[in-house]
Amino acid sequence: MPAFSLHPGDSVAFIGIGVMGRSMAAHLIKAGFSVRIHTRTAAKAAELLAQDAIWCDSASEAVRGAKAVITMLGYPDEVRQVLLGSKGLISACIAPCLIIDMSTSEPSLAVEIAAAAKARGLDALDAPVSGGDLGARNAALSIMVGGDAEAFEAARPLFAAMGKTIVHQGPPGTGQHTKMANQIAIAGNMMGVMEALLYARRCGLDPEQVLASIGSGAAGSWSLNNLYPRVLRNDFAPGFYIKHFVKDMGIALSEAKSRNLRLPGLELAHSLYSDYMQAGGGDEGTQALYKALDRFNGAK
């Protein structure tokens, strides 16, 4: 149970200034928190430094004196190294301090992080997000949180600065399990959205007119209304990287397998995305599934 609360003016370390992390950190600055940042590529931090973020030469320096540490990283092995490694941030934090991993990672790792934090008198939350680059830019993320209820309440001012839907799911690991459910739903939906667009085009329909009809009906979804139009503009830049989505689906499949659960829709999406990634498309956005399906059917 944290013996503190978080308020504007408090020092927050933010590690991981990527496509989404950059916007998330900016919202914390706007909310009045003193944000300390470190990233391997200093140029990525320029925009935040111009907004009064504090540059630190190392992650350990960033967490020095911080009341909260937020990580937003790409892969579970990065999360493990940054938080639990021989020079991990948990060992560098001084209580009271709240560790919040907002990466999409393995539920079992979230449980391990929470135990390691507790052993040092700290609290830890797993708080992955959904909403992509648009949600991050608009402070409209859905934040799904696992961990102690008191720690969740302490972190609420931080979450409120970055998201709109903020739900405490339960004990450590439940935030990550919820994110897996989210990714499973997105994988199936993305298949439907991009197959619908491919079908519309192959039938000679105007895809914008098709969207006007189906976007507000029973087929409507965030992916349909936000990513379908990007494909129409030939925009395959990442709001969320394919390489990260493949990682997420792999985690979900592993979790499902451990429960003797078959998810055939997820298996197919994972296979198609993995093949496209292996062909060099890993740094494109998830909407590039359209190109994979187009090629699968003999691109015209």
Neighbours of 144 (CB within 10 A): 25
The counts of H helices and E strands in the chain are 15, 9
**3-state DSSP assignment of residue 273:** helix
- Residue 270 phi/psi, 5-degree rounding, is -60, -40
Find, among 169, 12, 6, the residue nearest to 89 by Cα.
12
Find, among 38, 19, 22, the residue nearest to 30 by Cα.
22
Distance CA 129, CA 143 (A): 5
Distance CA 103, CA 294 (A): 31
Residue with tokens 């993320």: 141
Could you give the residue numbers annotated as active site? Answer: 179
- Residue 13 phi/psi, 5-degree rounding, is -90, 135
Alpha carbons within 13 angstroms on the beta-carbon side of residue 248 total 28
Find, among 108, 149, 101, 107, the residue nearest to 128 by Cα.
101
Find, among 58, 35, 64, 59, the residue nearest to 47 by Cα.
35
Find, among 73, 3, 70, 61, the residue nearest to 33 by Cα.
70
